[in-house]
């Protein structure tokens, strides 16, 4: 007996489809799909969220020195004249050093982050910037479910699809 549903697709296509559906569920909070696909995604999403809930507070704050270009009032980089070894003058960007407090993952949280990244796709927003889904899971979704033990998603049946009469459902985060 098979451990998981084949969904009528070869392994690589099936895993890619499930990864896309899982990514959309985490990103948007709900998706509309067929019942069998939803059951597979539900298992994946619940395991990812339980991993995030378990590791959400497993980090430490670390002070890091950051060197950046000094900016003037207009937001442009400040420059100064400098002389090279052979006597030529050139413009050099003025640097400033700051100490910034950053979050450093502990080893088990880092491992959880890598597991989550294997199960979801990389996503960009409308402006083309990357969205960090593991951070969204740890910082936004996991705190909502910390008092809950399992059952992070819900399947709502909405009827049959026109054409092939496949049962359609909405899979959403509770």
Q: What is the pLDDT of residue 2?
A: 55
CA dist list (Å): 125 to 20, 111, 119, 131, 152: 15, 25, 19, 7, 25
pTM attached to this predicted model:
0.81
Taking only the tens place, the pLDDT of each residue in 88-128 is 999 999 999 999 999 999 999 999 999 999 999 999 999 99
8 Å CB contact between 146 and 138: no
Distance CA 109, CA 8 (A): 35
* Tokens standing for residue 170: 């909405």
Q: What would the mean pLDDT of 140-153 be, rounded to a whole number?
A: 93
Q: What is the pLDDT of residue 4?
A: 79
Q: What is the pLDDT of residue 1?
A: 45
Confidence of residue 49 (pLDDT cuts 50, 70, 90): very high
């Amino acid at each position: 007996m098979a451990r998981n549903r084949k969904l009528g697709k070869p392994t690589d296509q099936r895993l890619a489809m499930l990864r896309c559906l899982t990514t959309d569920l985490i990103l948007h909070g709900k998706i509309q799909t067929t019942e069998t696909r939803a059951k597979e995604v539900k298992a994946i999403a619940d395991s990812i969220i339980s991993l995030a809930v378990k590791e959400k507070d497993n980090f430490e704050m670390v002070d890091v020195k950051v060197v950046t270009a000094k900016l003037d009032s207009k937001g442009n980089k400040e420059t100064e004249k400098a002389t090279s070894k052979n006597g030529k003058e050139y413009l050099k960007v003025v640097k400033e050093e700051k100490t910034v407090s950053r979050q450093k993952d502990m080893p088990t949280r880092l491992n959880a982050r890598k597991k989550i990244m294997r199960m979801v796709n990389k996503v960009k927003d409308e402006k083309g910037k990357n969205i960090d889904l593991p951070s969204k899971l740890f910082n936004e979704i996991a705190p909502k479910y910390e008092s809950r033990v399992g059952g992070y998603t819900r399947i709502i049946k909405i009827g049959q699809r026109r054409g092939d009469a496949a049962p359609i459902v909405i899979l959403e985060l509770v």
